[in-house]
Structure 1
Amino acid sequence: MDDVKQIVSDIKSGKIKPIYFLMGEEPYYIDKISDFIEDTVLSEEERGFNQMVLYGRDVTVEDIVGHAKRFPMMAEYQVVIVKEAQDLSRSIEKLVTYAKQPQTSTILVFNYKYKTIDKRKGLYKELKKTGVVFESKKLYDNQVPDWIRRVLAGQNYTITPKAALILVEFLGTDLSKITNELNKLKIILPEGTQITPEHIEKNIGISKDYNNFELRKALGERNAVKAHKIINYFSDNPKDNNIIVTVSLLFNFYSQLLRLHGLNDKSPRSVASALRINPYFVNEYLTAARNYPMKRVSQIVATLRDFDVKSKGVGANALPQRDLLKELIVRILN
C-alpha cells in the first residue's frame, strides 16, 4: 500500500516514468494504479489523440512497441495501456530492447495480472533501471481485516474486528469484492460511522449470528445448543456456507489452541502476539483453552484433518453436508 501511495504521489508531482510494469497475484492495486494513470495524466481533450488501450490477447509485443514509439499530438505525453498483458507471457521478454531506450514522451503501462516476470532475466533488470516495476502480492487471510481497517480509516470510517472478519469469511481475500461491498455501506452510512456486524447483516445480507466465527466461539465455550443451531443454518444455506471453509477455519482455530497450550506466558498481550490475532479475540481463545486440554485439542486437530478430506468428497460415501457437519460437531464436543 505504501508503494502504491508513492507511485501515485510521484505521478502527481510530475515524476513520471516511461514504463509502468504492474504485475502480481492481486489485481486490485494493478487496476488502481492503471486507472489513476488513465484518468489523470492527460486532460480530457488530449486523450482523444494520445491515449490508447490495448489488450494482450489482441496484440504482439512488436505492435505495442510500434504504438509506444509514436509521438504525442499537441500534448506532452501519449499514454499506452496494455490490459491483460499476462496473455503475452510467452513473448514478453522481447520488450527488453525497448525497455533499454524507451520513448520518454510515452507512458507505457502493462497490467500483467496473476503472474510475475522472471526477475533473473534481462527485461526485469532493464525495467528497474528505466521504469517502475510494481508487484502486487496477494494478502493472506489474516492480513485482510487490517487492510479493511486501514482503508476505512483513510475514508473516515471504522469497523469492529468481528465485522471485518465476517467480510473476509464470506468474500475471501478478493480486495475488489470487499471494496465493492464497503462502497455500498458508505453510500448508506455517514462518515464517522463504525461499521458493525449489524450493518453488514442489514445491508449486505451476511448473518451476524450464523457464521463460522460464531460457530468457533460456540465450540470454544462448549455451547452445544448454539453450535447445533449454527450448523443447522449452514445446512439450510449451503451455497453461502461451504463446509470446506468451515473445516479450514476450525482447523486453524484448534491448531492455534495447540500453540496456546505450549506458551509459557499466557497473558493477553503475549497470546495476541504469539498467535498473531487481534487482541479483541484473545479471551475467546483463553476460554477455549480452558475447556479443551492439550491432549483433547490434539485429537480434535486429527479429527479435522479427517473431515477436511471427507468434505472434499474423499471416503465419505457421498454423505450430505448436513450429516457431515453434525458428525463433526458431535466429535468435537464429545
Structure 2
Amino acid sequence: MEYRKALRDVQDGKVKPFYICYGTEAFFMNEFIERLATALVEPEHREMAIVRFATNEQTIDEIVDEAETMPFLVPSKLILVRDSVLFAAGRDSSKLEHRPERLMNYMSEPLDSSVLVFLVQHEKLDERKKLVKYAKDKDAVIAFSPMPAEEIIQWLARRAEKQGRRIEPGAAEELLKRVGSEMSTLAAEIDKLCLHAGTEGTVTAEAVASLVPASTEQSVFKLTEEIAALRTENALALYYDLLKQREEPIKLTALLVRQFRNMLFVKELDKQGYTPQQMASQLGLHPYAAKITAEQAKRFSFERLAAVLARLAELDYEMKTGRVEKTLGLELFLLRTGSEGGA
C-alpha cells in the first residue's frame, strides 16, 4: 500500500488491525504513526493507550499477549513494535526465541480494540516469509521510500499551500541544494520560510538564500560542483566560508573523498546501464543525492576521478601526519584540481 493512501484511509476512519511499515524514510513513517495515534487515542490517554516493544528486546509471545489483552480505561490501544527480526530481510541477530506462528494466528483473528504496527526500518522486507506474504495479502504493508527530487519539490509546495503560502519552483530547488533531502529538516525550514513570508505570501529563492544556512554536506556538494565546472574562485570562496564556520579541513577532505568516490561508482554503474533509482539503492544514497552526483560525474573522466581520489588520499595522510598544514593543504588541492579541469 502507498503511504498516502494509508493516510487517507486513517483520516476516513478505515483503520486496519495491523500494519507492517517498512522503508528508510523515517519522517513519513513517523507522520503515519502520529496520524494513527490521533485517530485512535485521545491526547490525555496516550500514556496508557500507546505501548512500545522491540523484537530484539521482547519475544513475539509478549507482544501478542499485549495485543490480546483488552485496553484498560481506554477504548483502543496502539502497539508499536520496532522490528529487525520478523519481517526484515537479512540475518537474524536476535538472541531471543520468536514463534512467528503465534503472530500469524493472531493476525488471522486480531482483536478489534488493538492496532498492532510493526516498524521495519529496512529498505526491503523478506518476501520469502509467510508473515510478509500474509500481510501483503491483507493489504497491510506500507512502503516508506525516499522521494525523488521532483516529488520533494511538489511536497514542499503542498506543505506551503496548507499554510496559505506558495513557494517559487526556484526557491524549492534552492532549499534542496542548501539542506539536502532529509525530510524533517526540510519540513522545519519550509515552515520557518512560510512564517517569514506572512499570510498569503510567497517563499522566494532570495528568502531561502538569506534565511537558510547550507549544511556542511551540501556545501561539499556545491564545492565539488564548482571544481567540476572549473570555477576555482567560487570553490575557494566556498572553502573560506566553511573555514569561517569552523569546519575542520580533515572532515571536509573526508566528505570530498566520499563524494568523488560516489562519482566514480556512479560512472561505473551508468556504464552498466543502471537507472538513477538503482544507483541510489546500490550506493545507499537518497535519489536526489544520486542525481546530483551523476550530473557532477559527467564532467570527469574515469582517469581524472581516480587521480583526484589518489591525491585526496595522499592529502589526508599528509594532514594527519603533520607533513602539511591542514588549511593550506586543502586550499592547494582545490587550486590544483580546479586548474586541471575534468578531462
Is structure 2 residue 336 aligned with structure 1 residue 330?
yes
Does the 8 Å contact 2:178/2:212 carry over to 1?
no
Counterpart of 2:238 in structure 1: which amino acid? I
Give how far 1:154 is off: 0.7
- Return closer, same or farther for 1:104/1:308 CA change in 2, 3 Å cut-off: farther
Does the 8 Å contact 1:17/1:131 carry over to 2?
no
Find the counterpart in structure 2 of residue 125 from structure 1. Answer: 133
Find the counterpart in structure 1 of residue 64 from structure 2. Answer: 65
Find the counterpart in structure 2 of residue 96 from structure 1. Answer: 104
Give how far 1:104 is off: 3.4
Distance in 2, matches of 1:245 and 1:112, equals 29
Find the counterpart in structure 2 of residue 304 from structure 1. Answer: 308
Is structure 2 residue 247 aligned with structure 1 residue 243?
no
Find the counterpart in structure 2 of residue 17 from structure 1. Answer: 16
Counterpart of 1:245 in structure 2: which amino acid? L
Find the counterpart in structure 2 of residue 224 from structure 1. Answer: 232
Pick one of 42, 53, 56 that aligns with 1:55.
53
Give how far 1:203 is off: 2.8
* Partner deviation per Cα, 1:179-225 (whole Å, 9 max, x = no partner): 233333333233552342x43453333389x9345545543553433
Distance in 2, matches of 1:121 and 1:129, equals 13
Give how far 1:161 is off: 2.2
* Partner deviation per Cα, 1:101-151 (whole Å, 9 max, x = no partner): 222342212223346542211111222234611232345xxx3x4343122
Instruction: Please list every run of 5 or more consecutive structure 1 residues that lacks an aligned counterpart in the other structure.
Output: 261-275
Alignment of 1:222-301 (within 5 A): 222-236=230-244, 237-238=246-247, 242-249=252-259, 297-301=301-305
Give how far 1:152 is off: 1.4
Give how far 1:83 is off: 4.6
SS where residue 13 of structure 2 aligns?
coil
- Return closer, same or farther for 1:116/1:224 CA change in 2, 3 Å cut-off: closer
Distance in 2, matches of 1:96 and 1:259, equals 40
Find the counterpart in structure 2 of residue 150 from structure 1. Answer: 154
Give how far 1:31 is off: 0.8
Does the 8 Å contact 2:24/2:122 carry over to 1?
yes
Distance in 2, matches of 1:13 and 1:66, equals 29
Find the counterpart in structure 1 of residue 195 from structure 2. Answer: 187
Find the counterpart in structure 1 of residue 29 from structure 2. Answer: 30
Distance in 2, matches of 1:125 and 1:314, equals 54
Distance in 2, matches of 1:311 and 1:79, equals 57
Aligned alpha-carbon RMSD (Å): 4.3
Counterpart of 1:128 in structure 2: which amino acid? K
Instruction: Please list every run of 5 or more consecutive structure 2 residues that lacks an aligned counterpart in the other structure.
Output: 87-91, 271-286
Pick one of 68, 79, 82 that aligns with 2:77.
79
Distance in 1, matches of 2:224 and 2:40, equals 49
Identity %: 18
Distance in 2, matches of 1:220 and 1:54, equals 49
Does the 8 Å contact 2:21/2:118 carry over to 1?
yes
Does the 8 Å contact 1:254/1:300 carry over to 2?
no
Counterpart of 1:54 in structure 2: which amino acid? R
Give how far 1:67 is off: 1.9
Find the counterpart in structure 1 of residue 275 from structure 2. Answer: none
- Return closer, same or farther for 1:123/1:239 CA change in 2, 3 Å cut-off: farther
* Partner deviation per Cα, 1:7-27 (whole Å, 9 max, x = no partner): 011222233211011122221
